[in-house]
């Protein structure tokens, strides 16, 4: 058996997320279906993603692993997959991986980017890739509050309600808040993320910037270990999985 490592980019606007769902089309489903001609039967081989991106979330560097029995050259595999995939989902690279490589379990870190347009008008060319939140924000306050998230903390307050994950401690290595004339970009890197964690951190920080939460509230929210203690969950379309580290 041969293990392949795929690097993928996709616009998540039209999809229910990475993982197969009973209703709607997922990225995982598209990739597995694209492998059908290689194996000669449906369904195609199981493809495992490094991150289970939600509906509407995008990726520049998603990584997936798949075990196959055929011996086609990696470049040919990539070209054939892209022929069968829609234009908003692309295989950037196909590589042979070490036997047993698992895109999710072997990942040691991920980097995400979240884009907020704060200008009065958002360009139609970025509307599916940002949260349009027109207003004036205190960027210094946002940066001060963001610093409190860096390090190893229990992020139970910042995961999706109803999540069954028991271990909620994660390490954020970097959380940068970049400003330009149209808005803010949040760059965040860590050893792993809970469901909705990045989006809830961004939503909370935007509330700090709007003056509805004090900068000092971050420690209290972390200590509460209760989703109700944190701020809103920012919309999915502003989030992009940038890179997976191994």
Domain harbouring 14, CATH code:
3.30.70.580
**Rounded to a whole number, what is the largest CA-CA distance in the chain?**
59
118 burial (CB, 10 Å; 0-12 / 13-18 / 19+) is: buried
Active-site position among 11, 23, 54, 96: 54
DSSP states of 58-72:
EEEEEEEEEEE----
Tell me, yes or no, whether 113 and 216 share the same domain: yes
Q: Answer yes or no: 176 catalytic.
A: no
Report pLDDT for 42: 81
Confidence category of residue 40, pLDDT binned at 50, 70, 90: confident
Tell me, yes or no, whether 90 and 114 share the same domain: no
User: Beta strand 2-10 with 89-96: parallel, antiparallel or unpaired?
Assistant: antiparallel
Tell me, yes or no, whether 184 and 134 share the same domain: yes
Report pLDDT for 244: 98
Give the 3-state secondary structure of residue 8: strand
Tell me, yes or no, whether 55 and 171 share the same domain: no
Tell me, yes or no, whether 84 and 151 share the same domain: no
Confidence category of residue 41, pLDDT binned at 50, 70, 90: confident
Q: Residue 58 region, left (φ>0) first, then alpha (ψ -120 to 50), else beta?
A: beta
Tell me, yes or no, whether 188 and 158 share the same domain: yes
Tell me, yes or no, whether 66 and 164 share the same domain: no
Q: Residue 84 region, left (φ>0) first, then alpha (ψ -120 to 50), else beta?
A: alpha
Instruction: Tell me how many domains the chain contains.
Output: 2
Residues 60-87 have pLDDT tens digits of 999 999 999 999 999 999 999 999 999 9
In this model, does residue 9 exceed pLDDT 90?
A: yes
**Cα(84)–Cα(41) distance, integer angstroms:** 15
Residue at which a domain ends, from 53, 70, 96 = 96
**Whose structure tokens read 């980017």?**
113
**Whose structure tokens read 């760059």?**
187
Tell me, yes or no, whether 129 and 231 share the same domain: yes
**Cα(55)–Cα(24) distance, integer angstroms:** 10
Q: What token pair was written down for 62?
A: 């998603």
Q: What are the Cα distances from residue 41, in Å, to 67, 78, 219, 233?
A: 15, 19, 53, 41
Domain, as residue range, for 24: 2-96
Residues 205-246 have pLDDT tens digits of 999 999 999 999 998 999 999 999 999 999 999 999 999 999
- Decide: 97 and 106 in contact? Cβ < 8 Å: no
Q: Which parts of the chain fold into alpha helices (H)?
A: 27-34, 36-39, 74-84, 139-147, 197-210, 217-224
Tell me, yes or no, whether 84 and 174 share the same domain: no
Question: Residue 185 forms beta bridges with which residues?
Answer: 115, 178
């Amino acid at each position: 058996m041969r293990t392949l490592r795929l690097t993928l980019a996709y616009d998540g606007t039209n999809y229910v997320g990475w993982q197969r769902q009973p209703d709607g089309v997922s990225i995982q489903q598209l990739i597995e279906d694209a492998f059908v001609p290689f194996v000669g039967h449906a369904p195609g081989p199981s493809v495992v993603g490094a991150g289970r991106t939600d509906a509407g979330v995008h990726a520049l560097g998603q990584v997936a692993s798949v075990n196959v029995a055929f011996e086609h050259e990696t470049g040919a595999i990539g070209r054939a997959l892209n022929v069968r995939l829609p234009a908003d989902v692309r295989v950037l690279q196909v590589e042979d991986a070490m036997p047993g490589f698992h895109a999710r379990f072997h990942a040691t870190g991920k980097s995400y980017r979240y884009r907020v347009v704060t200008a009065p008008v958002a360009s139609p060319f970025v509307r599916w890739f940002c949260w349009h939140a027109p207003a004036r924000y205190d960027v210094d306050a946002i940066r001060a509050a963001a610093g409190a998230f860096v390090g190893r903390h229990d992020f139970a307050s910042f995961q999706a309600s109803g999540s069954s994950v028991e271990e909620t401690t994660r390490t954020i290595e970097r959380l940068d808040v970049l400003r330009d004339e149209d808005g803010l970009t949040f760059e965040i890197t860590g050893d792993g993320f809970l469901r909705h964690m990045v989006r809830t951190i961004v939503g909370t920080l935007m509330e700090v910037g709007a003056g509805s939460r004090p900068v000092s509230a971050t420690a209290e929210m972390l200590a509460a270990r209760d989703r109700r203690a944190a701020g809103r969950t920012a919309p999915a379309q502003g989030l992009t999985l940038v890179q997976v580290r191994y």
